Chain A
């Protein structure tokens, strides 16, 4: 079965920018599973349902789980792999002689299940986890420049990290939006509506640069 696994960041930015309906249509076109893990469900649906501010988004996402747009994949049989990857990520970069805890266990579950299931793609809007997959050296550069200190990298762990993560294709909500736009799933045509959608996703937390948005707009 083909599948795209979703990190909670992508689910949240789509829910907050009201792009869940086109997203549901894309799932039908894809034909495979739009998959989440119980941890992602807990961080998105369950947490939202416990608040006043995000309860409505929680209900909308829960409906998507019930109607099959989102599919829950178990993660418990991968708990040792999840811990192993979390430890590896959190023991690769060092500042002031201390290993930097850069990721939370909740962010690793969908990633590990995606790797284990041979997913077609991993959707993540959050910057650090995505950089760890696509270009882990960049994480050290980012932290070093922001913290104004040298970041030491455990080269063996970095090598191991690359070995584990290389090859997993990554997308964000913005690329899903681009596909949805090309399919005519937004109420309007032309650059203007796409620009509105891409900026809405960015301002709701999707890590995309202004340059990338402009480049996408030139491509349509």
Chain B
């Protein structure tokens, strides 16, 4: 992992650890977006997976029903421990170890999700689509954003369609397009 991105990931993981420990779960959503620039520029799976995991944790911890679940206490303890291990591994430049811990974090989220059914779909899949949409917002193409986060264009397009990103940046090429459809389909406008 590139040094700048590594610093970003360590900083975000440290904040996530503190946030969960202090039960300030409302802050997790914002923290999952802190890596958006590194995600868009490097499109590194390990950076995207961190953002996906944090977003999924936000979805899990911010529902009263989930917080009352009998497995949540053990899950929280395990996640806090894994977050510490991930931070330590990155600080010691042990990237393989970090990747292994990150996979364990994702596996724990997946395991809990199967028990509490956050959504009909897998919570990690849902988080992947959301993060992919954020990459698309930042100027990366739809196909590249989908591939980087491991989702399909079918899943990404309706989520991307709900953002207002397009509103700000697309220069209208209206006249040219209207002339084209008049010519191609012989319609009067």
Q: Are A and B associated in one complex?
A: yes
Which residues of A approach B to under 8 Å, CB–CB? 4, 8-9, 12-13, 16, 26, 29-30, 43-44, 47-48, 51, 53-54, 57, 95-96, 98, 100-104, 106-107, 120-121, 125-129, 131, 134-135, 138-139, 141-143, 145-149, 169-172, 175-176, 178-179, 182-183, 202-212, 215-216, 219-220
Do A101 and B188 form a contact, CB below 8 Å, given A170-B177, A209-B170? Answer: no
Contact between B174 and A48, CB atoms less than 8 A apart? no
- 6 inter-chain pairs at a CB distance below 8 angstroms, sorted by A residue, are A95-B41, A121-B184, A126-B142, A182-B188, A202-B161, A212-B172
Q: Which residues of A contact B186 (CB under 8 A)?
A: 29
Report how far A129 CA is from B143 CA in the complex, Å: 10
Contact between A147 and B161, CB atoms less than 8 A apart? no
Query: How many Å from the CB of B161 to the closest CB on chain A?
Result: 4
Contact between A128 and B154, CB atoms less than 8 A apart? no
Contact between B173 and A134, CB atoms less than 8 A apart? yes
Closest 6 CB pairs of A and B: A205-B157, A104-B143, A143-B139, A128-B141, A182-B187, A126-B142
Contact between A47 and B169, CB atoms less than 8 A apart? no
With most chain B CB atoms within 10 A of its CB, the pick from A13, A43, A169 is A169
The answer to whether the Cβ of B171 comes within 8 Å of any Cβ in the partner chain is yes
Report how far A139 CA is from B138 CA in the complex, Å: 10
In the complex, which of the residues B40, B155, B158 contacts A147, with contact meaning CB atoms closer than 8 Å? Answer: B40
In the complex, which of the residues A12, A107, A182 contacts B144, with contact meaning CB atoms closer than 8 Å? Answer: A107
Query: How many Å from the CB of B131 to the closest CB on chain A?
Result: 15
Q: Which residues of B contact A128 (CB under 8 A)?
A: 136, 139-142, 144
In the complex, which of the residues A57, A103, A121, A148 contacts B180, with contact meaning CB atoms closer than 8 Å? Answer: A121
Q: Interface majority SS on B: helix, strand, loop or mixed?
A: helix
Contact between A9 and B142, CB atoms less than 8 A apart? yes
The interface bits of chain B over 157-189 (1 if a CB of A lies within 8 angstroms of the residue's CB, else 0) are: 110111001111111111011101100111111
Closest to A131 in B: B170
In the complex, which of the residues A12, A106, A210, A216 contacts B157, with contact meaning CB atoms closer than 8 Å? Answer: A12
Query: How many Å from the CB of B19 to the closest CB on chain A?
Result: 23
Contact between B158 and A204, CB atoms less than 8 A apart? yes
The answer to whether the Cβ of B137 comes within 8 Å of any Cβ in the partner chain is yes
Q: Which residues of A contact B160 (CB under 8 A)?
A: 205
Closest to B179 in A: A169
Query: How many Å from the CB of B102 to the closest CB on chain A?
Result: 22
Contact between A175 and B144, CB atoms less than 8 A apart? no
Q: Which residues of A contact B155 (CB under 8 A)?
A: 53
Do A147 and B138 form a contact, CB below 8 Å, given A175-B181, A209-B172, A215-B174? Answer: yes
The answer to whether the Cβ of B85 comes within 8 Å of any Cβ in the partner chain is no
Report how far A130 CA is from B172 CA in the complex, Å: 12
Q: Which residues of B contact A104 (CB under 8 A)?
A: 141, 143-144, 146-147
